């Protein structure tokens, strides 16, 4: 079957969004897509090495949650091995993300992390994690310290929310269940975002779990759970805003299942032969960037030329990021053991 689940209905007419907000979301999604396309080009030209997992098709989830509902630079973001776009949405400069992919000293992880380990303390990017579900307890730890600082230390400014992104495969992992239990028990200010793109590497989601509707698993922990069309940024934004508001108000966590799809293989080394042509075409027709562009024009929030101008601006930014990465120095071997532990400022 092309589609086992019906995408949740969302009435865009109920959305109130300004031109500035709409263009911000569009720009962030285009940034993510253009960046990933350039990564593919650089990888196949031999400029990048190791595993590189791209985010094409899933942009509405990252932009809708981080740019649409959170406070980038203040709130915390925990990612997966598909982490480039989460870092970009969190505010990490494209040139620093690209330099990290090139293994350069100017990268956001100083060239130590590469594709799967984007980190930036400045932007509250808690890292990408290569092991499935590895970032879930880390995000809970960040949420716990926020709650502790507010309720125990009496810090009125401690109202940060942690967003934890992970895939459908991680929802069958023990860390998922254990952390959701603690988060609900302690009413942590965290939102768990399942990016259900239907495939865990080569394993179809419906074959790997006894309950394919992941958001329903929240009920076991007396936690709010919601399903959303992950190809519709306005729907993602609306759901995320509600979840973030609940978290800041001390009402506990939310499990958001975003139904989305990756337009490329699992990684750039994946020939992507397992997914049917019909399935791919079904989801390609729901491109989240084209969907938002159409909405903005139809609602007279932007003209086609304004959107094209953003496309050109982003392309220039990405080209400059590549030049920056290529011209940046390699990490100094004398600093091999540096950045293993926190340093005194």
pTM of the model as a whole = 0.96
Rounded CA gap, 316 and 321, in Å?
9
- The answer to whether residue 28 sits within a structural domain is yes
What total of structural domains would you count in the chain? 1
State the pairing for strand pair 76-78/199-200: unpaired
pLDDT of residue 176: 98
State the residue range of the domain holding 215.
15-298+318-325
Rounded CA gap, 251 and 66, in Å?
20
- The answer to whether residue 332 sits within a structural domain is no
Rounded CA gap, 302 and 289, in Å?
14
- The answer to whether residue 331 sits within a structural domain is no
Mean pLDDT for back-to-back runs of 10 residues, the chain (345 residues): 68 88 98 98 93 97 98 96 98 98 97 96 96 97 98 96 97 97 98 97 92 96 97 97 97 98 95 94 97 97 98 98 98 91 77
- The answer to whether residue 236 sits within a structural domain is yes
Alpha-carbon separation of residue 137 from 60, 79, 265, 266 (angstroms): 24, 11, 27, 24
pLDDT of residue 110: 95
Q: Read off the CATH number of the domain in which 122 is found.
A: 3.40.50.970
Rounded CA gap, 283 and 278, in Å?
9
pLDDT of residue 162: 98
- The answer to whether residue 183 sits within a structural domain is yes
Q: Would you say 87 and 79 are in contact if contact means Cβ atoms under 8 Å apart?
A: yes
pLDDT of residue 7: 80
- The answer to whether residue 279 sits within a structural domain is yes
Distance of CA 182 to the CA centre of its chain: 23
pLDDT of residue 4: 61
- The answer to whether residue 32 sits within a structural domain is yes
Rounded CA gap, 203 and 182, in Å?
29
- The answer to whether residue 234 sits within a structural domain is yes
pLDDT of residue 344: 75
pLDDT of residue 3: 46
- Helix, strand and coil percent figures for the chain, each rounded to 5: 45, 10, 45
């Amino acid at each position: 079957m092309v589609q086992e689940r019906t995408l949740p209905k969302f009435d865009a007419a109920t959305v109130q969004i300004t031109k500035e907000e709409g263009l911000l979301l569009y720009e962030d999604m285009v940034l993510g897509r253009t960046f990933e396309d350039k990564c593919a080009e650089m990888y196949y030209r031999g400029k990048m090495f190791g595993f590189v997992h791209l985010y094409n098709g899933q942009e509405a989830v990252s932009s809708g949650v981080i740019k649409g509902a959170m406070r980038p630079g203040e709130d915390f973001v925990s990612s997966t091995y598909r982490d480039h776009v989460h870092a970009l949405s969190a505010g990490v400069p494209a040139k620093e993300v690209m330099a990290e992919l090139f293994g350069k000293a100017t990268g956001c992880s100083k060239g130590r992390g590469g594709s799967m380990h984007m980190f930036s303390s400045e932007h509250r990017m808690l890292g990408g994690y290569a092991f499935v579900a590895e970032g879930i307890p880390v995000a809970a730890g960040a949420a716990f310290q926020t709650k502790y600082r507010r309720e125990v230390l009496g810090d009125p400014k401690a109202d940060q929310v942690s967003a934890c992104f992970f895939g459908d495969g991680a929802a069958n992992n023990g860390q998922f269940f254990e952390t959701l239990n603690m988060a609900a028990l302690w009413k942590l200010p965290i939102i768990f975002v399942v990016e259900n793109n239907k495939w865990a590497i080569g394993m179809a989601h419906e074959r790997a779990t006894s309950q394919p509707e992941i958001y329903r698993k929240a009920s076991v922990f007396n936690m709010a759970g919601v399903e959303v069309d992950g190809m519709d940024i306005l729907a993602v934004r609306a759901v995320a805003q509600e979840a973030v508001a609940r978290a800041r108000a001390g009402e506990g966590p939310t499990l958001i299942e975003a139904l989305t799809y990756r337009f490329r293989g699992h990684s750039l080394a994946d020939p992507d032969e397992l997914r049917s042509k019909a399935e791919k075409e079904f989801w390609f027709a729901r491109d989240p960037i084209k969907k938002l562009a159409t909405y903005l024009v139809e609602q007279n929030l932007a003209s086609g030329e304004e959107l094209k101008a953003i496309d050109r601006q982003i392309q220039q930014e990405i080209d400059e990021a590549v030049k920056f990465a290529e011209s940046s120095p390699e990490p100094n071997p004398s600093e091999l053991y540096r950045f293993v532990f926190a340093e005194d400022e």
